[in-house]
Amino acid sequence: MGLIKKSLLKSLWVFHLPLSPCNNCDIEILDTLTPKYDLERFGIQLVGSIRHADILLVTGVPNYKNWQKLKYLYEQAPKPCFVVAVGTCACGRGVFKDSYNSPANVDEIAPVSAYIPGCPPKPEAIIDGIVKLINILKNAKK
Amino acid sequence: MLEVGLLNSLFLYLIFPGLFFSFILSILVGYIDRKLTARLQYREGPPLLQNLYDFFKLLNKEVILPENANVLFILSPFIGFASIILASTILWTAIFFKKGFVGDIIVLIYLLTIPSLMLILGASSSGNIIASIGVSREIKMLLSYELPFFTALLVPILQTKSFKLLDIIQNNVVSLANIISAIIVIISLQAKTGIVPFDAPEAETEIASGILIEYSGFLLGLIKLTKQILFSLIPAFVVSIFFFGDRNLILFIIKYLTILVLITIIRNTNPRLKINQTLKFFWYGMFPLSLISVILCVISK
Amino acid sequence: MKETIIEKVREKFGNKIQEFFKKNDKKYYIEIEPKDIFECAKILFEDLNFRFCTASGVDCEKNFEILYHFSYDKTGEIISLRVKLDKTNPEIDSLTKIFVAAEWIEREIWEMLGINFKGHPNLKHLLLSDDWPKDNYPLREKD
């Protein structure tokens, strides 16, 4: 694996994108970034600007007010950028499938690379999902 | 004769102790800094080459140029990078090869200011409102820490009565004025690099990385590399000017590591100061202290 | 013996009370006519020092209901004022002149159930998007 391709997998910068969720998934994402699970040893850092991001962690159900913003933010992130749907709401809308206020799934608006179901998923599950994403990318780039 | 001089300077600038050496040194210094931060937080840290992976990943990312940006947006990271490499070359040549020219400490001070100025120009030419908040904070900080920095550096200049870096390095003196100046220079250089507790312009998630918000790809990589090289110059600067840097190499490395560990511990035990607190700290705290040290130096001669 | 706060409330409301229901020591439901809501809220807030917590709107079978919840912070008792509105033309006085806090909750009840609040300064969408179709009130029961 070339140095540049290896560098992408060893230094993934994460941007947190909540689409008005109930905030449980956001609390679990916050847990994952604390020193107890120590994601910095894999090179994963939380960044503040969308232009620095490699992974978009999307939580919540898109509704009529913010599905456009998800589309714009995905276009503003420099490629290669991977969208990861955290929580059942972002994976397939869960119990809100027939709700009056949700037009589409997240993967009908932006291409999702990994789904992490759970309500909310434990930090171990989130780490497992990111590791699976890294393995897929490792095999695909060969 | 001229060709030999040109080849020699190119070697100094590009290979050792210029671009290549500063790059490798910044990766090592970044490793020590992040590993020590991790250990102080009871966790493992990133591996040795983590900064290298960050830089190469950023080289491969797409560069998105904002619509309202002009050519300064692209030029300013390059100019900042080139000037910090030149500053690093001057300093390490004086330490290792013992060569210099009259007035090179003034050139060094000017060159160390250029990365902040270039960041201000580049961020304000990006056309983003949030970047302008970061730019206004960076300008305020520039006006606050430069004055104590220069005034504190007058002390070794007055003591050796020359503007040549080599003379200052070889004639270090221990006195109260020198110790006060050393403390002021360490703190001012922390503000110059943008390390906590003085990183209000680049506050992540408070103003969404204010001053760096529109940069992406290899421009961001250049800016971060500039900051890392400046961070690796701080201990070398302080040790060579105040703490007898020209004795043997092992002692130099030990003093270098001590100052590096000190800066990292300060970084981990302090919160980020607000911009008005930073201004008050430098204007009402550090500047009178630097004036006192200059007066002490003049009196005791 | 000192008069409890709930006795003071019954005294001040007088014959405005249509129905009084005590759920437990800390929760009381008082039903009043829609035209009396402004005076009753004023009595509770200004004379007796209750705090307005929130309001909840429900679509029941025969009519719309709005419950206004007030809390007496010294003892922790909660009084809920219930008003019943008919389904054909639901409207009621707005409480924004007494306390500003009612502004947003009345906007939400309007956009979800279609109840008109007379005298509200800024009746527009709060949670739904601005291009939501008119006369489409999501929380009304569909037959």
Q: How many CB atoms lie within 10 A of CB B10?
A: 11
**Composition of chain C by helix, strand, coil, percent to 5:** 25, 30, 40
pLDDT over 90, % of chain B:
27
Q: Is C72 helix (H, G, I), strand (E, B) or coil?
A: strand
| CA distances from residue A106 to A47, A71, A88, B86 in whole angstroms, order as listed | 22, 10, 11, 49
Q: Rounded to whole angstroms, how far apart are CA atoms B15 and C45?
A: 78
- Supply the pLDDT for residue C84: 92
Statement: residue A109 has pLDDT above 70: yes
Instruction: Please judge whether B57 and A46 are an interchain contact, meaning their C-beta atoms are less than 8 angstroms apart.
Output: no
Shortest distance between the Cα of C132 and any Cα of chain A, in A, equals 9
State the residue for tokens 């221990």. B174
Residue of B52, B61, B218 for testing the chain A interface, max A β-carbons within 10 Å? B61
- Length of chain C (residues): 143
pLDDT category at B2 given cuts 50, 70, 90 is very low
List subunits contacting chain B, requiring 3 or more Cβ pairs under 8 Å: A
Q: Rounded to whole angstroms, how far apart are CA atoms A92 and A85?
A: 9
Q: Is B64 helix (H, G, I), strand (E, B) or coil?
A: coil
What is the mean predicted confidence (pLDDT) over A26-35? 91
What is the mean predicted confidence (pLDDT) over A79-98? 90
State the residue for tokens 């910095």. A40
State the residue for tokens 């600038």. B13
| A69 reaches C (C-beta below 8 A) | no
Q: Which of C40, C48, C39 is nearest to C77 (CA)?
A: C48
Are the C-beta atoms of residues B160 and B182 closer than 8 Å to each other? Answer: no
Identify whether A4 is part of a domain.
no
Shortest distance between the Cα of B242 and any Cα of chain A, in A, equals 36
- What's the one-letter identity of residue B161? K
pLDDT category at B205 given cuts 50, 70, 90 is low
Shortest distance between the Cα of B215 and any Cα of chain A, in A, equals 7
| A101 reaches C (C-beta below 8 A) | yes
List subunits contacting chain C, requiring 3 or more Cβ pairs under 8 Å: A
Instruction: Please judge whether C138 and A65 are an interchain contact, meaning their C-beta atoms are less than 8 angstroms apart.
Output: no
Shortest distance between the Cα of A99 and any Cα of chain C, in A, equals 10
Chain B 223-282, residues with CB within 8 Å of chain A CB atoms: none
- Whole-angstrom Cα Rg for chain A: 15
| CA distances from residue A118 to A8, A24, A83, A129 in whole angstroms, order as listed | 27, 10, 17, 11
DSSP letter at B66 equals P
Beta strands in B178-296 (DSSP E): none
pLDDT category at A1 given cuts 50, 70, 90 is low
More confident position, C3 or B253: B253
- Supply the pLDDT for residue C12: 86
Domain that holds residue A30: 14-137
Residue of A15, A41, A49 for testing the chain B interface, max B β-carbons within 10 Å? A49
pLDDT category at B204 given cuts 50, 70, 90 is low
- Supply the pLDDT for residue B1: 39
- Taking any CB pair shorter than 8 Å as contact, residues of chain A touching chain B are 3-4, 6-8, 10-11, 35-36, 38, 40-43, 46-49, 51-52, 54, 76, 78-80
Task: Give the chain A residue whose CA is nearest to the CA of B39.
Answer: A35
Identify whether A59 is part of a domain.
yes
| C125 reaches A (C-beta below 8 A) | no
Predicted TM-score of the model (pTM): 0.86
Q: Which of C95, C131, C92, C97 is nearest to C113 (CA)?
A: C92
**DSSP structure string for A63-104:** -TTTHHHHHHHHHHSPSS-EEEEESHHHHH-GGGTT-TT---
Task: Give the chain A residue whose CA is nearest to the CA of C126.
Answer: A65
- Supply the pLDDT for residue C138: 87
Contact residues, chain C, for A64 at CB < 8 Å:
128-129, 131-132
Fold classification of C5-94 is Beta Polymerase; domain 2 (3.30.460)
Contact residues, chain A, for C128 at CB < 8 Å:
64-65, 101
Please tell me the number of Cα atoms within 13 Å of A85 on its side-chain side: 24
For the stretch B233-247, pLDDT in tens is 989 988 888 888 777
| B96 reaches A (C-beta below 8 A) | no
Q: What is the mean pLDDT of chain C?
A: 88
Q: Rounded to whole angstroms, how far apart are CA atoms A71 and B133?
A: 26
**DSSP structure string for A106-128:** GGGTS-EEEEE--SSPPHHHHHH
Q: What is the mean pLDDT of chain B?
A: 86
Q: Which residue(s) pair with C66 in the sheet? A: C57, C83
Q: Rounded to whole angstroms, how far apart are CA atoms B249 and B12?
A: 20
For the stretch B113-141, pLDDT in tens is 998 899 889 888 888 888 888 888 889 88
Q: Is A95 helix (H, G, I), strand (E, B) or coil?
A: helix
Domains identified in chain A, total number: 1
Statement: residue B251 has pLDDT above 90: no
Burial class (CB in 10 A: 0-12, 13-18, 19+), A90: buried
Q: Which two tokens stand for residue C41?
A: 């809220």
Instruction: Please judge whether C129 and A100 are an interchain contact, meaning their C-beta atoms are less than 8 angstroms apart.
Output: no
What is the residue extent of each domain of chain C?
Answer: 5-94
Contact residues, chain B, for A46 at CB < 8 Å:
204-205
pLDDT category at B260 given cuts 50, 70, 90 is very high
DSSP letter at A111 equals -
| C21 reaches A (C-beta below 8 A) | no
Q: Which of B106, B91, B112 is nearest to B157 (CA)?
A: B106
* Pairing between β-strand C27-31 and β-strand C77-86 as defined by DSSP bridges: parallel
Contact residues, chain A, for C131 at CB < 8 Å:
64
For the stretch B28-41, pLDDT in tens is 999 999 999 999 98
Instruction: Please judge whether B216 and A78 are an interchain contact, meaning their C-beta atoms are less than 8 angstroms apart.
Output: yes
Q: Rounded to whole angstroms, how far apart are CA atoms B138 and B75?
A: 19
- Supply the pLDDT for residue C131: 84
What is the mean predicted confidence (pLDDT) over A73-97? 90
Are the C-beta atoms of residues C45 and C98 closer than 8 Å to each other? Answer: yes
Q: Which two tokens stand for residue C121?
A: 């300064």
Instruction: Please judge whether A7 and B54 are an interchain contact, meaning their C-beta atoms are less than 8 angstroms apart.
Output: yes
What is the mean predicted confidence (pLDDT) over C90-115? 90
DSSP letter at B125 equals T
